[in-house]
Structure formats: C-alpha cells, structure tokens
Amino acid sequence: MKRADCLFFVLAAVLITAAVHLATPEHATADAKGGASPSVRPPAQAEPERVAGDKAVVAPVTGRAAPARSVGPARSVGLAAPDKKELAQQLVASAENSTLNWREAYGYIEDIGDGQGYTAGVVGFCTGTHDLLALVERYTRAHPGNGLARYLPALREVDGTDSHEGLDPNFPAAWRHEAGLAAFREAQDSERDRIYFDPAVRLAGRDGLGALGQFVYYDAMVMHGPGTGGHSFHGLRERTLREADPPSEGGDEKTYLGTFLDVRRAVMKSEDPGRDTTRVDTAQRRFLDAGNLGLRTPLEWKVYGETYRVP
C-alpha cells in the first residue's frame, strides 16, 4: 500500500507539473494568441456550415473565410471552386455565344428574334427581361455618367417587351464601347453572380447536388430566368420535386437530375416544338449518362452541332 501511495503522489506531481507547463503562453494555440488561455477559453464559435456542392466551408465569426476542408476523395468539388466556375462559364458560353472564350462576350449585343429585345453580355442579359436594366442601374449607381446611363429611361420603357424604342440606333455601339472598360466587365460578372450563379449554386447545394447538378441549375436559371412561373427556373424545379426526391431528401442524384432535364426539355419544346435542345441533350445529358456528377475534366460535348472540348 505504501508503494502504491508513493507512486500515486509521484504521478500526481508529474501531472500537475505538466498541466502548468502546457498552460504557459508558448504552448497556447494560434487561435488563443492575444486572448484567454485555451484551458478556459470555449471553442471558437462559427457560422453554420455553408454547403457549396460537396464541400462545406465554415467561416469564423470574424467573417474571414476558413480554409476549405476535405470531405473525402469520393466527393466532388462544388461549382464555386475557381476552376469549376471557369468551366461553368465555358459551358454556358458554348450555348449562349458558340465559343469557349466567354470573356469575349462582354461586348456582344444582338436581337436574336426571341421576343426579348436585345440580348447582350456574358450571360445574355436582355432588354425585355429586366436583368439588363438591373445591370445598367447598378452600374450607373457605382459609375454615374457612364456611356449607358442616358439610355436608362428607354430601358425602363421597353422592359418586358421586345421593343427597341429609344435604343436605336446607337445603344448597341454604346454597349460595345462600355464593354471595353474593366469596370463594366466587372459589373457584368457581379450581376451574373448575384442573379444567376450564386443562387443556383446555393440552392443546388441545399438539394444535395454536386458540381454537375449545380451547373444544371445555373444553366437553367440563365436561360429560363429565376422566376416562379411554369417556364422559369423555380417552376421547373417545383415540377421536378413533384416527380423525384432530391439527394437531400434521400433521393438518387442521377435520377433526380435526369427528371429535371426531362422537365426542362419538355418546357423548351412546349415553347417551340422546333427548338434546339442540344445544350441539354448532347451536353448536360451526356455528362449525366456518363455518371460524371462531379463535372470532372476532360469534357466533350456538342451544342448546335458544334463539338467542344475542355482537356
């Protein structure tokens, strides 16, 4: 008993010494520098996880982005990752502007005869669908006196129509000239992300979709608009949810995306039976049939009969 007692007190002394040693500042973690000792400091609070596809990022309360943490090699990177976002713009540009060089579309402007007035810029902002008006209004608030500001009264008048009244003959030239300025190119990117890209990626992430599903949502939002009508993005999603469960509710991801593409294609054909649907049929559907839910490269697809490749 005496030997056991002695060992007990020796062990206790060692533990106490170790505890005091570890509590000294040189052993405090980087997070505790300048703050309370880690022995009494509660764990750092964080905002709830923001799901960006298959990768969750936790941001500390300071607002500084935390490093992305891996969730395993079998999971795909979400569309918001820089390389995936670049790929997404290339895929959209192949359908919207028949090119992979999406940056050359900043100055694009044309009436393509679809009843939406002028279509312009990196994601086809339209004078008849409010997004072009919203872009020019926000740009003008940041840069008063720009070359498009004088067209704001006309843009408000033609919003919701295919009219060019007050825009012809010089609005296209003014748009192309403004697109030569970095500030307007940045404004286009910002508005694209605000209206289309960011909402699509967030919602797809909540539905449990990986990079391909996030792109499927993004492309649909660009083409159909983010409205709630039967032919708009949220209408397409609601119809899909009535037919299939998303992965976030236990559904199969491939089945859910296949249903969404079926719904979207049917809507496109209902608008015009002769409409080309290759951006769905020989692009997104091709990736889905190959099981490429992570939208991994290399990729090959066809739009309007033209073959595109990303190595």
Residues belonging to the active site: 96, 114
* Distances 142 to 126, 137, 187 between C-alpha atoms, Å: 21, 9, 9
What sign results for the dihedral spanned by CA atoms 151, 154, 158, 160? positive
Could you tell me the two tokens for 56? 């969750």
Helices and strands (DSSP H and E) totals, the chain: 12, 7
**What radius of gyration do the chain's Cα atoms show?**
27
Q: How far apart are CA 256 and CA 247, in angstroms?
A: 8
Name the DSSP class of 121.
T
Could you tell me the two tokens for 144? 């008063």
Question: How far does CA 159 lie from the centroid of its chain?
Answer: 26
Q: How far apart are CA 200 and CA 221, in angstroms?
A: 7
